[in-house]
Amino acid sequence: MYKEFEGRNEQEAIDKAISELGLDRDDFDVEILSREKKSLFRKGSVTIRVHVPEPEDIQEEDNEPSDHMVPGQILEAENENERKIIGFVKTLISKMGYEADVNINFRRDYKIGLEIVSDSSSILIGRKGKNLDAIQLVANVYAGNLDKDYKVIIDSENYRMRHEEQIVRMAFKTAQQVKRSHRSRLLEPMNPFERRLIHTALNDFDGVETKSEGEGLYKQVRISPTK
């Protein structure tokens, strides 16, 4: 979900978003749509697009372990929509030039987890999971056209759990370095869920604090020593 706001500058537009949405600044991401420079005959302005997670998405992401694949589990499709989604993902992968089996691994309400089994898994996962995320995005667009309540999680070789564990380990290692050196560290750009993992993991880590910096969906987390 997103909304657009306009202000004389970026901060004023963000302040309007915070006031109207009733959220903290770290609860949403900002995309700059346009900047109008101030001139003799017109006021300067900035238009931003605020990306806000749907309430149900926030709840589900806070309960993320239940969205992980169960090793070896294969569930039968329960209805025509599930069969169509599986067929769509298999066709999509085939058009990419690869062969794969696509199985339902878990089901929770209208959320289903699809596991891709392929000799080309490393390619389908892609660097930092970019290809897997792209397949999941397209699958969710298709599933949403069948039923707006559907959400699809796609994984292969349990990549998502391994990736999350890697992020959390990196967060603790960096936090320890920051605490020892008393110098802040800026992490690489991450999507909203990855940043939320960092903030949550270090929430009770004594001696450091975290803050998201940057614009757009992919922002960076700064880990700083507490004052």
pLDDT in tens, 143-196: 999 998 889 999 999 998 889 899 999 999 999 999 999 999 999 998 888 899
pLDDT confidence of residue 202: 93
- DSSP class of residue 187 equals P
* Model confidence at 60: pLDDT above 60: no
For residue 80, which phi and psi values (nearest 5 degrees)?
Answer: -65, -35
- Closest by CA to 151, choosing from 65, 77, 57, 80, is 57
- Name residue 107's beta-bridge partners: 112
Q: Does the fold of domain 161-225 match that of domain 65-157? A: no
pLDDT confidence of residue 218: 82
pLDDT in tens, 16-55: 887 776 666 666 667 777 777 766 556 678 887 776 554 4
pLDDT in tens, 92-146: 999 999 999 999 999 988 899 999 999 999 999 998 888 998 999 999 999 999 9
pLDDT confidence of residue 38: 66
Please give the distance of CA 176 from its chain centroid, rounded to a whole number.
25
pLDDT confidence of residue 146: 93
The domain locations on the chain are 2-52, 65-157, 161-225
Task: Tell which CATH architecture fits domain 65-157.
Answer: 2-Layer Sandwich (3.30)
Reading the block at residue 143, the tokens are 């599933």
Q: Would you place residue 66 in the very low, low, confident or very high pLDDT band (cuts 50, 70, 90)? A: very low
Look up the CATH superfamily of 161-225: R3H-like domain (3.30.1370.50)
Residues 2/52, Cβ–Cβ less than 8 Å? yes
Q: Of 22 and 13, which is predicted with more confidence?
A: 13
Reading the block at residue 60, the tokens are 């589900």
